[in-house]
Amino acid sequence: MTQHDIIIIGGGPAGLAAAIAARKAGIGDVLILERDDKLGGILNQCIHNGFGLHTFGAELTGPEYAERYSDQVEELGIPYKLRTIVADVSENREVTYVNSTEGVVTVKAGAIVLAMGCRERPRGALGLPGYRPAGIFTAGTAQRLMNVEGYSVGKKVFILGSGDIGLIMARRMTLEGAQVCCVAELMPYSGGLNRNIVQCLRDFNIPLLLSHTVTKIHGKYRVEGVTVSQVDGNRRPIPGTEEFYECDTLLLSCGLLPENELSRQAGVGIDRVTGGPVVDDSLMTDIPGVFACGNVLHVHDLVDYVSEEASRAGEHAARFVKGSVPEGREIRLEGSGGVRYTVPQLIRPDTMADSVVVRFRVADVYRDKSIAVYYDGVRVQKRKKRIMAPGEMEQITIRKDGFAASVPEKITVTVED
């Protein structure tokens, strides 16, 4: 069986940054496996600008951001296989992939970096009543059809869900001559970034209906319209509030789900809230030598944070291959009181770096509240935040020297007054 030092599953922003960091950390034998016919992942279809403000201090488009990383991969001569789908990852770090030139191949890895990204929540997972006519797309599928394949997706569009991709597509389709009648959002707030609401909806006078959802899809062969209802505090449609919107296309932007089928096959422990692997401060899963980063780990708001996190995963994978294994005592991290989860979920104080960034999301919109950190019930950090919203990731830093006196069993991150 062929052996590689590090195998990276996925050639999107996370996989590319992890590969570059691993190579720069001195690992010569790094291999990227990518199922699409080009590197860059979802960035290829995100032709809008706004990427890279943190990483490059510039507002790049998705393809430009991707090319900065794929150029580095080429310059460093990191090998990659395109049109190659990974069929299985095993607990002993064997990766089985399939492509049309080699057939089915199983290779052994010194370390694996999971960087498969995420997938959109499809109609089937939303329980939308009605027929199954043509014209219903997830926002990302419509984005790919329009921006990469060059198809016109629809003329009169209704968008359910105010996630960023939905907002971006509202502008994109308007610019291409479609009429976007409305964006409906189940929650009382938008899950998208403020600037997207302003520049993608308000710029084009597209209404945003909060606390509304689609309660019926009309049309047997092609979408002919949708019925939209207001929902109550429990997200249940309120009878009598139905309104009909004529449209030929329904786009769904209702959340992203980390794509962890391979991780599950390998037996990696999955966090119920993030839908991604449980990792320690080195971004290693509960299978030694298997690391995770990017949207497969938890859905990020900005690609800049994906790149930064993936670089760390690549560095830690390199260290693992060289024989430095994260081990020793474990501190559990947990979110409570409005903090939905933390990544990592575990810190190993004996092998951790001098400081570890812990990222999380909050459950609601909070104004003038604080983020507090407790070590076994004793508060050690408190920071005021003017605003926190579910659509944006928050972070705290845990320092190793904070454990000099004693190591807590549990670290709790919470929202408080």
Partner 1 sequence: MQSYELTCIQCPIGCALTVTVDGDAVKVTGNTCPRGEAYGVKEVTAPSRTVTSTVALTGGALRRLPVRTAGDVPKAKIFEVMEQIKKTRVKAPVKLGDTVIENVCGTGTDVIATKTVK
Using CB under 8 A as the criterion, which residues of the chain lie in contact with partner 1 when the complex forms? 37-38, 44, 47-49, 59-64, 67, 146-150, 175-176, 193-195, 197-199, 202-203, 386-387, 389, 392
Q: Which of 196/311 has CB closer to partner 1?
A: 196
Q: Which of 182/197 has CB closer to partner 1?
A: 197
17 half-sphere exposure, CB direction, 13 A CA radius: 23
Cα dist from 378 to 28, 225, 393, 399, whole Å: 45, 55, 24, 16
- How many other CB atoms sit within 10 Å of the CB of residue 358? 20
Q: Which of 7/66 has CB closer to partner 1?
A: 66
Q: Cβ of residue 57: shortest distance to partner 1, in angstroms?
A: 16
Residue type, 65: Y
Q: Cβ of residue 148: shortest distance to partner 1, in angstroms?
A: 6
DSSP 8-state code for residue 53: H
Give yes or no for a contact between 348 and 326, defined as CB atoms under 8 angstroms apart: yes
Element (H, E) at 19: helix 13-24
Write out the two tokens for 347.
Answer: 């810190």
Q: Which of 42/331 has CB closer to partner 1?
A: 42
Q: Cβ of residue 182: shortest distance to partner 1, in angstroms?
A: 19
Q: Which of 176/232 has CB closer to partner 1?
A: 176
Q: Cβ of residue 139: shortest distance to partner 1, in angstroms?
A: 16
Q: Cβ of residue 387: shortest distance to partner 1, in angstroms?
A: 5
Q: Which of 1/175 has CB closer to partner 1?
A: 175
Q: Which of 44/311 has CB closer to partner 1?
A: 44
Q: Cβ of residue 45: shortest distance to partner 1, in angstroms?
A: 9
Q: Cβ of residue 44: shortest distance to partner 1, in angstroms?
A: 8
- 353: three-class secondary structure by DSSP: coil
Q: Where are the beta strands (DSSP E) in 346-389?
A: 346-347, 355-360, 366-375, 378-388
Distance of alpha carbon 347 from its chain centroid, rounded?
22
DSSP 8-state code for residue 317: H
Q: Which of 327/368 has CB closer to partner 1?
A: 368
Give yes or no for a contact between 166 and 183, defined as CB atoms under 8 angstroms apart: yes
Give yes or no for a contact between 332 and 42, defined as CB atoms under 8 angstroms apart: no
Give yes or no for a contact between 190 and 197, defined as CB atoms under 8 angstroms apart: yes
Q: Cβ of residue 203: shortest distance to partner 1, in angstroms?
A: 7
Q: Say how many residues make up the chain.
A: 417
Dist. CA 165–CA 252, nearest whole Å: 9
- Taking the alpha carbons of 123, 162, 204, 199 in that order, is the dihedral positive or negative? negative
End-to-end CA distance of the chain: give it in Å, rounded. Answer: 57
Q: Cβ of residue 71: shortest distance to partner 1, in angstroms?
A: 9
Give yes or no for a contact between 246 and 225, defined as CB atoms under 8 angstroms apart: yes
Q: Which of 222/383 has CB closer to partner 1?
A: 383
Write out the two tokens for 49.
Answer: 């600008």
